[in-house]
Structure 1
Amino acid sequence: MSLTAQKDFVIFVILLFGFQVSQSGEVSEWGGKYAQETICGLTGTTVILNCSFWYPQMHNGQIIKVERTLWFTKGANDQPEDLRKDFKYTDRLDLNCQVNWCTLSIRELRKSDEGKYKFKFITNATGGQYTVMSGVTLKVTDLNIQKSWWYRTPNLSCHSECDLDSPSYIWYENGRKRLDLNSKEITASSNYLSYSCALRGHEQHLSPPVCWGPSCDKVVYLYKSICALKGSDVDIACTYGHHKTVREKSWFRPDNGNTWNVPSVSSTWQLDQRYFTTDVDGKRSGLLIKNVTESDSAEYRFKFSEWGSDLPGTILTVTAAQVQVIKAENKDSDTVALLSCHTSCSPASYLYWCWVKDGHENVGRPTWKKEQIITLRPGEYITCAVENYPLSVSPPLYALEAPRVLLSNKSDILEGDLLTLTCIADTPTSSRHRWYKKCRTSDCEVMRYGEKLVFSSIQSSDSAEYFCAVENDLGEKMSQSVVIDVKYAPRFSNLLVSPSNVTEGQPVNLTCSSDANPAASYTWYKDQTMLQGSERNYVFNSIRAEDGGSFYCKAHNKYGNVISSQVVVDIQYVPRLPSISARPFSHVSMGFSVRLTCTSDANPAASYFWFKDNEESPNSMGAVFNIINFQLHNEGAYHCEARNVRGSRRATLLLREENFRSWLQGALTVVAVRYAIAGILLILLIVTVLLFWKKTTSKGRMHFKSQPNTSEDSSRDQLEELMVFSEHSPIHSNVTNNKTDHNEDDYENVVDTVIKCGGQASG
């Protein structure tokens, strides 16, 4: 059975057994059982030991709970020694215990790990502890090669004392990997060749080489792996064999090509300040590395001129102490933590651990116990080390202080600028950094990791509050937030008119809006002329027709400006009082045509309707009304009504006729106007002649008085007739009342026009 399959089978058995125990109800006895009482593992691999257990649920009215579990190989059943405290198992054990079962994993198996392992659990009940007897016997073995002959054919077999489940093998011939040889048994090629085998996936733990023949070329490393503390000296050694004289020997690192030559005589040769090579009798070679550091961690191999090897060498792991936080909590401003000092691998020596605060204050004496409770104030740090290994001191673990945020820009932050936020921590930068953008909710997602938060081209949408956090294994500290306010010039300017349909006399609000930081100021324009006012609203409390026009606004701050598109404010109003005219306006004879025209100022444009007298239906529509062949029945009052969606207004024209005398009086009135002065002069002349004649003809005076004065009567009659004609104006001109009343919806203008009837019109 393979190691993986073996592990899966064991876990299945544990779960199945645990299920059976849980189904059995409340048990009344103490007990336990191991999944396997014997287990075998290859050197360098991992084995898992398993045990299920049970106990009463109640004891003397008390609920029983498991408080402690452990595995041990030493000590009596009542006083066992916990494996976790045995230095030779340091950092190689994993303990996983649940309600009714517990597993123990042992990594990097060594021959010294062989023995019998037992499990014990301790409860809260008085005397409530139990050791599962019999235990698990662990056997650790290596692979080895067995020789045999089959009809004079030399056969080699890769053998293990462990029962392996369908393993896959790798073979090395004379130090070279043979990919075509992957079965458990192979046939040897010829004499003077060495052979080794390994399990695929565990090439580091191969079998010792065997020679087919009296001698062969081979290399055997004394240690497959070495764990060393930083600052110690490490000796990597191997034995080698050869069937010919070896001319050149060297140690090398496959990962970077470093090579250290070995002198041809048995001596020590210093390569540099830290590396030394040795050779003893042409059979044993060594590489000594003094004062090792983490950079020396690598695989090291040995080769000689007649033989280059693919065989895995010795893996060196250099480790320093590390502080591991098991549990930490804050008490006021201090941090109280349970810490453990550990290494990444287990050196083959018994270690004592030292704890130092702030680099000078020893916390207790060196002790073999790895765990320690430490109290730290903000800014203090703790280190641990292995006694007598000063270079193995762990990196410091700090109790963090709150960080600060530093901005790269000291002045205004403009859109498009490069902005860098730096999280400044007084503790070393080994702490982990996170950036947050302040949220309205309590849960804020991490925005970015790292010491710096960089905006290559910051945008207005990035305006917010930011803060950073530093974190290590002891906890987290937050900075105070900083406000990022990105400035920018007005991006756009919109002009909105409310209401959208404007009527004369109503309030109107013009609003200019713009996105800007800082907020924009505004300048207003009408028909390219700047208006008074700098607010975003321009208000008409009662708008007039003359207030209409093309408006636009300019939004501006200290970073720039932008102009809105133009908006035409079109003010609608009721038609003004119509004006009526007649053509011709005089000397129109019966049978001629009359053209009446009506005009009115309106928005939207007015429609015109003509009514005669008191008729309800219009006689005509349109601004012009033509009367063809004017007759007596056409006289009367003509009304023009101007209409639009906002209302209507009306004006009236009077058309009337008179008899021929009226027409003659009208004509004489015109003549009298022309000859008024001549008539007056004629009368004065006649009176003067009569007075003179009266004085000079005294004798015939009486006679004269008795005779009628025909010429004087005629003149007087003519004057009276002339005056009668002057009393009646033959033509009433088109008088239009141009007075406008914006608050009057219906106002009638009456124009009296006389159309002369009978006879021809004179020019």
Structure 2
Amino acid sequence: MNLRTAATGFVAFLLSVPALQGNDDWAFTYPSSNICALRGSTVEIRCNYKYPYANTVEKILWFTNKHNEPVDLKDDTDYTGRVEYSCFRHSCYRYSSCTGTCELIIKDLRQSDSAEYKFRITTNNGGALSGLPGVKLSVTDHRMEVIILPRPTSQNWLELECHRMCNLTGYRTYSMYTNWYRNEIQQRRQGLSYRFYINSEYRVSCAATGFKHLPSPSVYAPETPSVGGTPPGVIKEGSSVNLTCTSEANPVAKYTWSKVTTGHPPGHSVQGQQLSFHPIQSSDSGQYLCTAENDLGTKTSSPFSIDVKYAPKTPSVSVRPPGEIMEGGSVTLNCSSDANPAADHTWFRDNQPLHWEPRRPYTLDPVSSKDRGTYRCHAENQYGYLGSNSVFIDVLYAPKTPSVSVRPSGEIKEGGSVTLSCSSDANPAADYTWFREHGGSVEELGENYTISNITTELGGNYYCEARNAIGLQNSTLMFLNVTATPSSPSSGPTTVAAGTVAVLLATMLLVIFLWMRRKKASRKAPDQGGRPDTRQESPPCPVYDNVPALTNRSASAARRDSIEEQDDPHYPSIHFSRSKNQEVPRGFAGALVKSDHTEQVLYSAINLKRPKAVPE
């Protein structure tokens, strides 16, 4: 059945399957349960109804499912000026039922008019009944559509069919006069289907003959996708980020995400129009591609970059070149830290900061022994900071000039013990060898060299040699001055001379003592009543060369002669015997006598005369 249409000549087709609701006395019949109409046209929706004879219809209305309660379309502002009812009663039988028809007319259809429409009767008994379910109206811009058939054996060809969009559900009505258009250019091919070679640049549509101005929506491959991210701006590690891919395509495209790996094809892919990171990690930084695909082709977006900002990860220190480090060479320390933006580096040696540019490797050129120590770096950016591991730089170098010390310090006496110590700054540690000047190695190894029971012959200059795998170095000379002792059996002529001097000193003291005693006795004599000493001083005893020492007998005779002397006090005379051509100092009890090989000490006889007894 054709319904009345708008001036444009468009026709709305009604489903002819009746819909019946109610009981024997009440009934609602919709000639069509689904209606498809073009935007801008006029549509009529009809309902045939029946109600009991005893009831009188007071109100009839049409309403939609857009509201919770039935609202008369004439009172609905969305339909103001576009809705009309055309209702009339057919017949009424006494003691039976009455029948009638009511049409809903909607002009200037809009896509928002798509809804389910229902008819309702209100009677004088206060009852109301609605025809359920109602009629579904679909308003569209086009009356034709292109259907893509499953691909044939060849994957490079595609077959399309042109369909009416307002056909009965499950039943197709085809137009035998269908024109096809590719990129808006009409093709020679006419008919229900169209087969063509796939090209992502093609846009294909169809239209009924004579209705070129009402073509179907075109089918086409996806356009180049665009990618957007939320939230915009700086992306910090730990935040949530969503990427969205959009592409115009018909049929609707399917989306695939992949991450670009430098020097490699895209890696693992993810399906869906959105790609989400909850939370985003530093490892998620990189470039992402979105691919949109449908049956007509594939397009890929430009790379979308994600730059995740984060604090430095644990820095590490590396040394170039690796291996042993020799003094005088060159060493570079690198501080590497994963950070975005790049971190500034601060260098430390033995926990003391070093002055160096913040983003340059630390260079030791040339390396010195003073550079030996533990190094580390500190990485920092505006999002945080972190310290590195520690690296020990062990600089190998030859021994520096050794220093020598002696224990005990001061005068070294013969017979004592002396220890020489040698020390030198070297890496690896040095081995030590001891030498005596003009005497070669003393065959002593080690840092210390001990000489026990030292003699004068062991005096002189000593030095040590410090040696390691890098080189060697000698110390300065250390002089040992050994002093001889009198008791030493090896004292020689020096010891004899010292003994002689001691004997002479003792003799002089004795002479002085006797002389002072004589002077005292002389002062006492007048006071005691004695006579003064008028005796002439005896001449000195004769001196004989090479006179042997006095015998016991001659000494006794001398004592007897002395007793017989007068009472005047007499004091000893000291006579010196000397060898030929040797001068003897006066007042000494002995003198050195030199022979061809030795020195001898000769003593003179000493006569002591006692004064006679003085009367009391």
* TM superposition score normalised by structure 2: 0.52
Q: What residue number does 1:296 align with?
A: 114
Query: Does 2:86 align with 1:278?
Result: yes
Q: What residue number does 1:530 align with?
A: 355
Q: What residue number does 1:252 align with?
A: 63
User: Residues 408 and 419 of structure 1 are in contact (CA less than 8 Å); yes or no, is this contact kept in structure 2?
Assistant: yes
Which residue of the other structure, out of 292, 300, 305, is the alignment partner of 1:478?
Answer: 300
Query: How far has the Cα of 1:241 moved from its partner?
Result: 0.4
User: Residues 610 and 625 of structure 1 are in contact (CA less than 8 Å); yes or no, is this contact kept in structure 2?
Assistant: no
Query: How far has the Cα of 1:533 moved from its partner?
Result: 11
1:23-69 residue CA offsets vs partner (Å, 9 max, x unmatched): xxxxxxxxxxxxxxxxxxxxxxxxxxxxxxxxxxxxxxxxxxxxxxx
| 3-state SS of 1:247 partner | strand
Query: How far has the Cα of 1:662 moved from its partner?
Result: 3.9
Which amino acid is the alignment partner of residue 104 of structure 2?
L
Structure 1 pair 248–338 and aligned structure 2 pair: CA distance change class (3 A): closer
Structure 1 pair 460–587 and aligned structure 2 pair: CA distance change class (3 A): closer
Which amino acid is the alignment partner of residue 300 of structure 1?
K
| 3-state SS of 1:710 partner | coil
Q: What residue number does 1:583 align with?
A: 408
Query: How far has the Cα of 1:251 moved from its partner?
Result: 2.5
Which residue of the other structure, out of 258, 274, 277, is the alignment partner of 1:436?
Answer: 258
Q: What residue number does 1:314 align with?
A: 134
Query: Does 2:393 align with 1:569?
Result: yes
Aligned 1:677-756 pairs, distance under 5 A:
708=581, 710=583
Query: Does 2:48 align with 1:238?
Result: yes
User: Residues 580 and 653 of structure 1 are in contact (CA less than 8 Å); yes or no, is this contact kept in structure 2?
Assistant: no
Q: What residue number does 1:323 align with?
A: 146
Aligned 1:481-496 pairs, distance under 5 A:
481=303, 493-496=315-318
Gaps of 5+ in 1: 1-89, 91-107, 112-203, 264-269, 670-706, 725-763
| 3-state SS of 2:316 partner | strand
Aligned 1:351-390 pairs, distance under 5 A:
352=175, 354-355=178-179, 357=181, 370-373=192-195, 381-384=203-206
Which residue of the other structure, out of 194, 208, 228, is the alignment partner of 2:36?
Answer: 228
The separation in 2 between residues aligned to 1:349 and 1:610, in whole angstroms, is 114
Q: What residue number does 2:371 align with?
A: 547
| 3-state SS of 2:370 partner | helix
User: Residues 605 and 644 of structure 1 are in contact (CA less than 8 Å); yes or no, is this contact kept in structure 2?
Assistant: yes
Query: How far has the Cα of 1:296 moved from its partner?
Result: 2.0
The separation in 2 between residues aligned to 1:411 and 1:262, in whole angstroms, is 50
The separation in 2 between residues aligned to 1:668 and 1:342, in whole angstroms, is 150
Structure 1 pair 607–625 and aligned structure 2 pair: CA distance change class (3 A): farther
1:685-731 residue CA offsets vs partner (Å, 9 max, x unmatched): xxxxxxxxxxxxxxxxxxxxxx95726999xx99x9xxx9xxxxxxx
* TM superposition score normalised by structure 1: 0.44
The separation in 1 between residues aligned to 2:253 and 2:50, in whole angstroms, is 49
Which amino acid is the alignment partner of residue 84 of structure 2?
F
Which amino acid is the alignment partner of residue 277 of structure 1?
Y
1:314-355 residue CA offsets vs partner (Å, 9 max, x unmatched): 3324264322112679x9xx9864333243741899664654
Query: How far has the Cα of 1:288 moved from its partner?
Result: 1.8
User: Residues 33 and 135 of structure 2 are in contact (CA less than 8 Å); yes or no, is this contact kept in structure 1?
Assistant: yes
CA RMSD of aligned residues (A): 6.6
Structure 1 pair 588–256 and aligned structure 2 pair: CA distance change class (3 A): same
Structure 1 pair 425–209 and aligned structure 2 pair: CA distance change class (3 A): closer
Structure 1 pair 667–260 and aligned structure 2 pair: CA distance change class (3 A): farther
Query: Does 2:161 align with 1:339?
Result: yes
Structure 1 pair 446–625 and aligned structure 2 pair: CA distance change class (3 A): same
1:440-468 residue CA offsets vs partner (Å, 9 max, x unmatched): 77675544644x87889976534444333
The separation in 2 between residues aligned to 1:400 and 1:249, in whole angstroms, is 51
Structure 1 pair 480–496 and aligned structure 2 pair: CA distance change class (3 A): closer
Structure 1 pair 363–376 and aligned structure 2 pair: CA distance change class (3 A): farther
The separation in 1 between residues aligned to 2:383 and 2:133, in whole angstroms, is 70
User: Residues 578 and 641 of structure 1 are in contact (CA less than 8 Å); yes or no, is this contact kept in structure 2?
Assistant: no
User: Residues 636 and 654 of structure 1 are in contact (CA less than 8 Å); yes or no, is this contact kept in structure 2?
Assistant: yes
The separation in 1 between residues aligned to 2:208 and 2:86, in whole angstroms, is 29
| 3-state SS of 2:149 partner | strand
User: Residues 199 and 296 of structure 2 are in contact (CA less than 8 Å); yes or no, is this contact kept in structure 1?
Assistant: no
User: Residues 251 and 303 of structure 1 are in contact (CA less than 8 Å); yes or no, is this contact kept in structure 2?
Assistant: no
Structure 1 pair 545–209 and aligned structure 2 pair: CA distance change class (3 A): closer
Q: What residue number does 1:87 align with?
A: none
Structure 1 pair 237–308 and aligned structure 2 pair: CA distance change class (3 A): same
Q: What residue number does 1:514 align with?
A: 337
Gaps of 5+ in 2: 1-12, 90-97, 499-579, 599-616
Structure 1 pair 240–227 and aligned structure 2 pair: CA distance change class (3 A): same
> Which stretch of the first structure deviates more once superposed, 294-303 or 422-431?
422-431
Structure 1 pair 321–276 and aligned structure 2 pair: CA distance change class (3 A): same
The separation in 2 between residues aligned to 1:397 and 1:362, in whole angstroms, is 15
The separation in 1 between residues aligned to 2:427 and 2:183, in whole angstroms, is 93
1:730-758 residue CA offsets vs partner (Å, 9 max, x unmatched): xxxxxxxxxxxxxxxxxxxxxxxxxxxxx
User: Residues 347 and 355 of structure 2 are in contact (CA less than 8 Å); yes or no, is this contact kept in structure 1?
Assistant: yes
Structure 1 pair 654–371 and aligned structure 2 pair: CA distance change class (3 A): same
**Identity among equivalent pairs (%):** 21
1:147-180 residue CA offsets vs partner (Å, 9 max, x unmatched): xxxxxxxxxxxxxxxxxxxxxxxxxxxxxxxxxx
| 3-state SS of 1:240 partner | strand
Which amino acid is the alignment partner of residue 372 of structure 2?
G
Larger Rg, first or second structure (1 or 2): 2
Q: What residue number does 1:596 align with?
A: 419
> Which stretch of the first structure deviates more once superposed, 649-658 or 464-473?
649-658
1:374-410 residue CA offsets vs partner (Å, 9 max, x unmatched): 6897665344456799998543323555456689999
The separation in 2 between residues aligned to 1:351 and 1:625, in whole angstroms, is 124
Structure 1 pair 516–301 and aligned structure 2 pair: CA distance change class (3 A): same
Structure 1 pair 234–398 and aligned structure 2 pair: CA distance change class (3 A): farther
Aligned 1:51-200 pairs, distance under 5 A:
none
User: Residues 418 and 458 of structure 1 are in contact (CA less than 8 Å); yes or no, is this contact kept in structure 2?
Assistant: yes
Which amino acid is the alignment partner of residue 116 of structure 2?
A
The separation in 2 between residues aligned to 1:438 and 1:713, in whole angstroms, is 121
Which amino acid is the alignment partner of residue 147 of structure 2?
Q
Query: How far has the Cα of 1:517 moved from its partner?
Result: 6.5
Q: How many equivalent pairs are there?
A: 459
1:262-303 residue CA offsets vs partner (Å, 9 max, x unmatched): 99xxxxxx9733332233127324242435455423252434
Query: How far has the Cα of 1:572 moved from its partner?
Result: 6.3
Query: How far has the Cα of 1:583 moved from its partner?
Result: 0.9
> Which stretch of the first structure deviates more once superposed, 463-472 or 381-390?
381-390
The separation in 2 between residues aligned to 1:364 and 1:662, in whole angstroms, is 142
Structure 1 pair 396–578 and aligned structure 2 pair: CA distance change class (3 A): same
| 3-state SS of 2:58 partner | coil
Structure 1 pair 251–389 and aligned structure 2 pair: CA distance change class (3 A): farther
Structure 1 pair 390–531 and aligned structure 2 pair: CA distance change class (3 A): closer
